[in-house]
Structure 1
Amino acid sequence: MTSTNPAIERVPEIPADPVVARLKDEARLRARGNRYEDFEPGRRFDHHWGRTVTASDNTMFSVLTLHYNPQYTNEAVARANGHPGVPVNPLLVFNTVFGLSVEDLSEGGGPFLGVDELAYLRPVYPGETLYASSVVVSRRPASNRPGYGIVTWHTHGTNQQGDAVIEFKRTNLVRMRG
């Protein structure tokens, strides 16, 4: 269908900015994050900043992931189950703590291979701030993927008072240098 409005039919071409074009031509991908060689077993990473989880985060996450357990969205149900208020969806707790570790552990690239030994240690409530730390458990070269190794970390999540709230082991394929 063709529009009868001549202004719509004649969209002027915007000339390419020569500075932007030159910068794109000169741009190089730069390696970010740690590599396989940086992950010596026993090395500890205290991940940055932390993240305060809000009631809005909890509701939005539960709705967007179709996680409709009323305990995570309904205060009366939560109280009937022994909570002082609505607890944060545990999957949001996991994803938040996992996300806090990405910059140090997996930003360098390589596929995620899985999580083991996931344990939720205590409920988290809106207003709590989550922090994460990880320790390298093991590493080995990937036999079927030259230039990569397999690294496993044990990640711990705590709240602002230092109470342990979650822990898990996570494994990634990690790029080697060179």
Structure 2
Amino acid sequence: MGPQRFREVVGFHYEDFTVGEVIEHRPGRTVTEMDNVLMSMLSMNDAPLHIDHAYCESTPWGRPLVSSLVTLSIVGGMTARSTSGRTLANLGWGNIRLPHPVFVGDTLYSETEILGKRPSRSRPGEGIVSCRTTGTTAKGDVVIVFERSFLVPCRDRPGAEPAGRKGSE
């Protein structure tokens, strides 16, 4: 933009995604009890498995499990800055798997592999990207895997640049 002046870039245009590339999303995020209780209540998931310590003492885990909706929200949210920074619409989520439980105090990390991309047939100047995101704990346990597709603008599409002041003023 000018000498010693840079604009932070959020997200990618369609052309910037490369099939097979992997994006590591940072920073990680430590799950708190407040995250679990608040999101469980917001999503109306009041199952005792997530919010009742006394009940959970008799489960195989011996303590509450973090709701899978919380895990999906945190890990999915970690990807937003890069994969969804310019996204026009999420088109679908699929193949959501939860191979390992998450507990309060676990720190989560995520990475996204770009699986495919193609120009939109119905929306000129836009493209569809598909990806697979994997969430892990700091110990390396895979806690969630999901696939997603989303619509992003091509670089030359009018309005493809994010809003904000123009130029280096």
- TM-score bracket for this pair, using the shorter chain length: 0.7 to 0.9
SS at the partner of 2:27? coil
Distance in 1, Cα, partners of 2:29 & 2:112: 16
Q: Return the letter of the residue paired with 1:146.
A: P
2:73 corresponds to 1:95: yes
Q: What's the counterpart of residue 167 of structure 1? A: 145
SS at the partner of 1:42? coil
Give the alignment's TM-score, normalised by structure 2.
Answer: 0.85
Give the alignment's TM-score, normalised by structure 1.
Answer: 0.80
Q: Return the letter of the residue paired with 1:121.
A: P
CA deviation map 1:43-90 (0-9, x unaligned): 110011011000111011111111111110012222322113111011
The structure having more radius of gyration, on CA atoms, is: 1
- Paired residues, number: 149
| Alpha carbons 2:10, 2:82 under 8 Å: kept | no
SS at the partner of 1:47? strand
2:41 corresponds to 1:63: yes
Distance in 2, Cα, partners of 1:153 & 1:100: 14
Q: What's the counterpart of residue 133 of structure 2? A: 155
Q: What's the counterpart of residue 54 of structure 1? A: 32
Q: Of 104, 113, 119, which aligns to 1:141?
A: 119
SS at the partner of 2:57? helix
Q: Return the letter of the residue paired with 1:105.
A: T
For residue 31 of structure 1, report the CA deviation from its aligned partner. 7.1
Give % identity.
34
Displacement over 3 Å in runs of 4+: none
| Alpha carbons 1:31, 1:108 under 8 Å: kept | no
Q: What's the counterpart of residue 33 of structure 1? A: 11
Q: Return the letter of the residue paired with 1:65.
A: S
For residue 38 of structure 1, report the CA deviation from its aligned partner. 1.1
Distance in 1, Cα, partners of 2:128 & 2:151: 5
SS at the partner of 1:50? strand
Q: What's the counterpart of residue 21 of structure 1? A: none
Structure richer in strand, relative to its length: 2
**What do you get for the CA RMSD once the two structures are aligned?**
1.3
Distance in 1, Cα, partners of 2:46 & 2:99: 22
For structure 2, the 5+ residue unaligned runs are: 1-7, 157-169
